[in-house]
Every structure is written in structure tokens, then in C-alpha cells.
Amino acid sequence: MQSVRTLPSVDEVLRQLKHLDRLPRKLLANEVRAELAERRKALINGADIGDIPVAQAVENRIAALLRPSLRPVINASGVILHTNLGRAPLADFDPIPRYSNLEYDLETGRRGKRDVHTARLLEHLLGLAAIVVNNNAAAVYLVLNELAANHEVIVSRGELIEIGDGFRIPEIMTRSGAILREVGTTNRTHVNDYREAINDRTRLILRVHPSNFRVTGFTERPELKDLVQLGRAHDIPVYEDLGSGCLVDLHTLGIDEPLVSDSLAAGAHLVSFSCDKLLGGPQSGIVAGDAELVHRVRRNPMYRAFRVDKLIVEALETTLRHVLKGSWQSIPTLQMIFTSVEEIHQRAERVLRRLEGLNAVIREDESAIGGGSTPDQVLTTWVVELAVHNPVAFEGNLRRASVPVIARIERDKIILDMRTVADQEEESLVSAVHAAMPRVATQSGRLRS
């Protein structure tokens, strides 16, 4: 019978872990002490500590600690821009492993600016100056802090939103030092509401595109061109937060997202948008528009706190080059959006054939562009539907596969959406499904006994 007195000493366990002497002794000793402390506490509380030897338990702890936490997963949920799965999957690129000319001008041999690598591409795409920061919330903060700190920004009440994880845009705006002058109502705001709010403390008119929310029914909001006209009449810049930042026209697919170029053409002095949504790039944000205003934002002292690192620069530059060339197939997000229903049907049939013997069928369904970034925007897809004894346990087993599979459960069925599964992922997907079956059966057997 085990007791606190029968627990081995730290040195005794370390001798049993001699085959791990390639690892720092401090790491091994700390994990041994942690394991012994947990067992000691359990024994004092009368709990069962199992029969796994301490040395083996410590080895398991170290293996788990050294195993990468960030892992590739197969997204079979059907949500293309899945917030919890990193939003936009990245286009293929080879990170430069050693030094790079991130801030070094190779022509002059002098210090350069990291902006140049993306600015030249953005200028070709948008026709105006642009800078990159670490996300769109940072872009909003910087613009308001630079152009309206201690002064008023006019914004519609219907556009003061909350984004993921409880972050509220009004709170970010307030932290910038700007004073929000709310106008209109939740569902209806008119140009005259903005006009009546203008005073000698007004420095900016802000318009927020509803990229992650929808207000329907009895609604009204001014056209951007009307706000631009109002701003020009009073010499007040108009800034539009576009959220998802669509650079490619998706209207032919029934996706109602404004183009960044259209907002700039309408006369917005500044726009900002995310790079990891419909642009299909890494997490970052772009501020574009009037060169003088963009330069002011870049010179803001907080810009350095929000600038992106070399990996983001390289990933974004890769994505922007693909956009410039019109290579949608090289940008996973756009590739999934543009994939035809026929191609997805063929993928579903291929997977179904590999699941012979299981209770599986394929059927037509709908994929979501994004859970929060583009609400109510769906595309027709084909899914593989699995009937299993315990769908909750089965879904958990898929998540714990060697290559985790993220599925969804509907009407007690496992749903695998083929729009968000890449061709090269089919083998791993099928393997995960087959591997999950006997484990569910075993779990079900334990439950019945």
C-alpha cells in the first residue's frame, strides 16, 4: 500500500532518468519535484495515485512539455475564417532562417525601413500610401490617437461594436484619448445627425463597416460618399474601419463585402482593415489613404509598439504578391471561397469511398465564410455525414487524433465539411475517422459495463 513514506527521493528518481541526461538537470529535477508534490498531496487527501511509476510519470510530463503546443489541424468545420483556428490559413512561404534585409537598404548600405517590403505592393494594389501594424484594432487606436486625441470623433451608435473575446471597440477608441461623439440610434443614423454634431472640437468622422455584425429591418446609414462630402465641407477627415478588408471582388459569389478600393475611390481619407480575414494573410492590420495622414500615423510614438515582425512581413508580402498577380489558388482563403461546388462534391465522394463500411453519406450543405468576421455569408458545399453511437465522444477522438480534426455535430451526426479540407489532408482525415471508431466502441463498452 502506497503512502507518503514510500515515495522515492528526488535523487532516486533522477538516477532512474539517467537516459535523459541530455536534458538540463534543473529541468529534470523540477519535474521530479512537481510530480512528487502532486502525489504527496493526493496521498494526504486519500486519493488514488495510480500505479504508474514516478520516473515514467516524470518522463511523460517532460515529453508533454517539449511537445509543440501549436499544431496543424484539419478544419472540417466548414468555417473558412475560423477565429479559433487562426483565421486565414497562410499561403506557402519559406521563412528566412537567418539574417534578412528587414531594415537594411541593400542599394545604399544604410538603415532602411521595414515598411518598404509591403508598402510598394500595397501602393500598386490600392494606389495610395499604406502602413502595416499588428492588427486592425491597433490601426483604429493609432488613427484615433494621432488625429483626434483629446478631441471629438463622430460615430454612429449603431457602429459601436464588440469583437472577439469581449473586446469592445468603444473602449479601444476611448483608450486612444479620443472623445466619442455618438450620433443617431442603434438602427438608424442620418447624415444630418453627423452634421449637427460637428463643432470646433471635432477632428474626425468615423464610419465602421459591419463586418462582424448585421442590423436588419428598419435601418438606415449614410453612404460613405455623403459623409465624405460633409467632411470636405467642414475640412474634417473621414476614416472608415473596414474590418475584413476585401481586396478581391467576391460579389459574383453572392458575398456582400465592400472593396477597399471602392472606399478609397469614394473619397475616404483613411481606411483600415484586417489582413487575416478576406485578404487571406497573416494577423496584421493596414492603414491606407492620404499620404500625409498615413505619414502622421506612422510617426506616432505608439507605432513602434504596434509594428509587425519579420515573419509577418514575409508572410504578408507573399500574400500581397499573389493578390497582385491574381493567383487566388495560392491564397488558401480565396482558394476555398472560389472552389466550385462540383470540385467539393468530388472531394466528398473520394472521402466517402475511403470510409466504406462506416455509416456515412454525403449531402449538400452550407459553409460559413467566418464565424464573426463575415456573419450570414454562406456558400454551398458538400459534407460527409457520419452516424456514430456516441457523437460527442467521437468528435473528441477526432480532436485528439495524431493530426487533429475539427468537425461539428448536427442532429447527433458528425459533419465533415469538404470545402475547408484540402486535397492533401484527405489521407489524414480518413485515418483519423477510422482511428476514432474503435476508441468510441471501447468507451461505449465501459459506459455499458
Residue found under cell 467632411:
231
Nearest to 205 by CA among 189, 171, 228, 175: 228
What is residue 341's predicted lDDT score, i.e. its pLDDT? Answer: 97
Helix (H) or strand (E) holding 380: strand 378-386
Structural domain contains residue 419: yes
In a domain, 99, yes or no: no
Measured distance CA(261)–CA(235) in Å, rounded = 22
Query: Residue 86 and residue 406: Cα distance in Å, rounded?
Result: 13
Q: How far is CA 217 from CA 188, 214, 220, 256, 378, in A?
A: 10, 10, 9, 17, 20
Residue 415 domain flag:
yes
Query: Does the residue 2 lie in any domain?
Result: no
pLDDT of 39 = 96
Residues 353 and 368 in one domain: yes
User: One-letter amino acid identity for 30?
Assistant: N
Q: Number of folded domains in the chain?
A: 3
* CATH number, domain containing residue 228: 3.40.640.10
136-148 vs 291-299: helix axis angle to the nearest 10?
A: 100
Grid coordinates representing 284 are: 496584421
Give yes or no for a contact between 13 and 54, defined as CB atoms under 8 angstroms apart: yes
DSSP alpha helices (H): ranges in 127-223?
Answer: 136-148, 169-175, 191-197
Residue 256 and residue 387 in one domain: no
* R_g of the chain computed on alpha carbons: 27
- 306-334 in b/e form (b: 16+ CB < 10 A) is bbbebebbbbbbbbbebbeeeebebbbbb
Residue type, 28: L
pTM for the whole structure: 0.89
pLDDT at residue 379 in the model: 95
Count of alpha carbons within 13 Å of 188, Cβ hemisphere only? Answer: 4
pLDDT for 220 equals 87
Which SS3 state, helix, strand or coil, does residue 196 take?
helix
Coil/strand/helix, residue 396: helix
pLDDT along the chain (449 residues), means of 10: 89 96 96 97 93 96 95 97 95 96 97 95 96 95 96 92 69 89 91 96 93 71 95 97 90 88 96 95 97 97 96 98 96 96 98 95 95 71 96 96 97 97 97 86 44
In a domain, 296, yes or no: yes
What is the domain-level CATH number for residue 406?
Answer: 3.90.1150.180
Residue 341 included in any domain: yes
- Residue 448 confidence (pLDDT): 35
The predicted structure's pLDDT at residue 91: 96
Residue 97 is assigned to a structural domain of this protein: no
pLDDT at residue 346, as a whole number: 98
Based on the domain organization, do 47 and 78 belong to the same domain?
A: no
Q: 291 and 257, same structural domain?
A: yes
pLDDT, position 218 = 76
**Residue 127 Cα distances to 121, 123, 124, 409, angstroms:** 10, 5, 5, 45
Pairing of strands 179-183, 152-156: parallel
Q: Which of 304, 379, 374, 311 is nearest to 340 (CA)?
A: 379
Point out which residues pair with 380 in neighbouring strands: 366
User: Residue 29 is part of which domain span?
Assistant: 8-66
DSSP letter for each residue of 84-118: GGTBSPPPP-----S---TTEETTTTEE--TTHHH
Q: Which residues contact 37 (CB under 8 A, 6 or more apart)?
A: none
Query: Ramachandran region of residue 378, left (φ > 0), alpha (ψ -120 to 50) or beta?
Result: beta
pLDDT of residue 212: 61
Based on the fold, state whether residues 56 and 183 are members of the same structural domain.
no
The residue with cell 475616404 is 268
Residue 3 belongs to a domain = no
